[in-house]
Structure 1
Amino acid sequence: MAAEDSGSPFPAAGPALPRVLCDTAELLSYGPDAPAGALWKLAEPGRQLDANVVRIPPAGRVDTHTEPDLDVLLLVLDGGAALLCTDGERPLRAGVLTWLPHGSTRGVLAGPDGVTYLTVHRRRPGMRIQPPAAADRLRPDVG
């Protein structure tokens, strides 16, 4: 039996309980009128994961990049796209679940109807302020 979302952004005191966070069918009901970008983000405090539902409009793209640290799962919810990889393109359509391993180079090119997808990955640690001497490690050697 799953716990229902109380609507509160903070869980009640006590043991951690499963919660309904988002109805992706409702997000998809906006169709082509959905705004581009993140339609939903996992934002619960104390989480170990990050997750997003992202909408890319027709012919929009996520530029090709290499993710050095994080494995990512990408599940296409609606529409279609091409996954751009160093060894060619892979078609993505609703229902396709793709693993993007860390170190891989990838990009996404939305199809003629755009694409909406869910991504899930380990949460990145927050940025920390370092002492001034720590910046010396980042400077190139001159000499």
Structure 2
Amino acid sequence: MAAADRDSPAPAADTPRPRVLCDLAELLPPGDDLSAGALWRLAEPGRQLDANVVRIPAAGRVDTHTEPDLDVLLLVLDGEAALVGPDGRRPLRAGALTWLPHGSTRAVHAGPDGVTYLTVHRRRPGMRIQPPEAADRLRPDET
């Protein structure tokens, strides 16, 4: 520890601190073929990101869709899949880090043993209650 560290004031109680959120070895036990869907979600208050660990069973899929607003990073943690887009299929295996830019059309097809992956993207803003007159701007003009 440097001398400057010893002389620094302790961080305030409300100061965000780094921490371990989950352990993949515990989240993905070997031979677990039953888990499917979101196995873990980032749920920390005040966060700017959303993240999920998702398991798709053998031959399962995320159907073709387009994400209009958010770029997504997808990191394959275990298994294999195919990223399917307008330009064809791209194989994904453990360790593959993929960028899914907003506006892109894609699907994910799990391989014969399924696939587990981490997604990370900017957090979507929550819905806000607004005054009734705010809805007027959403109505079509009646001219």
Counterpart position of 1:92: 92
Q: CA deviation at 1:24?
A: 1.1
Counterpart position of 1:25: 25
Q: Classify 1:79/1:133 alpha carbon distance in 2 versus 1 (closer, same or farther; 3 Å).
A: same
Q: How does 1:1-143 map to 2 (within 5 A)?
A: 13-138=13-138
Q: CA deviation at 1:142?
A: 7.7
> What letter corresponds to residue 104 of structure 2 in structure 1?
S
Q: Which runs of 5+ in 1 are unaligned?
A: 1-11
Q: Which runs of 5+ in 2 are unaligned?
A: 1-11
Q: Does the 8 A contact of 2:33 with 2:57 survive in 1?
A: no
Q: Does the 8 A contact of 1:37 with 1:54 survive in 2?
A: yes
Q: CA deviation at 1:26?
A: 1.8
TM-score, L = length of structure 2: 0.82
TM-score, L = length of structure 1: 0.82
> What letter corresponds to residue 87 of structure 1 in structure 2?
D
Q: Which has the larger radius of gyration?
A: 2
Determine the C-alpha separation between the residues in 2 that align with 1:135 and 1:108. Answer: 37
Determine the C-alpha separation between the residues in 2 that align with 1:64 and 1:140. Answer: 31
> What letter corresponds to residue 114 of structure 2 in structure 1?
G
Question: How many percent identity over aligned positions?
Answer: 83
Q: CA deviation at 1:60?
A: 0.7
Q: Classify 1:81/1:46 alpha carbon distance in 2 versus 1 (closer, same or farther; 3 Å).
A: same
**Cα distance per residue 1:67-123 (max 9 Å; x no partner):** 011010000000011101111111010000000011111110111100000000000
**C-alpha root-mean-square deviation of aligned residues, in Å?**
2.0
SS at match of 1:58: coil
Determine the C-alpha separation between the residues in 2 that align with 1:123 and 1:139. Answer: 27
Q: CA deviation at 1:129?
A: 2.8
Report the count of equivalent residues: 132
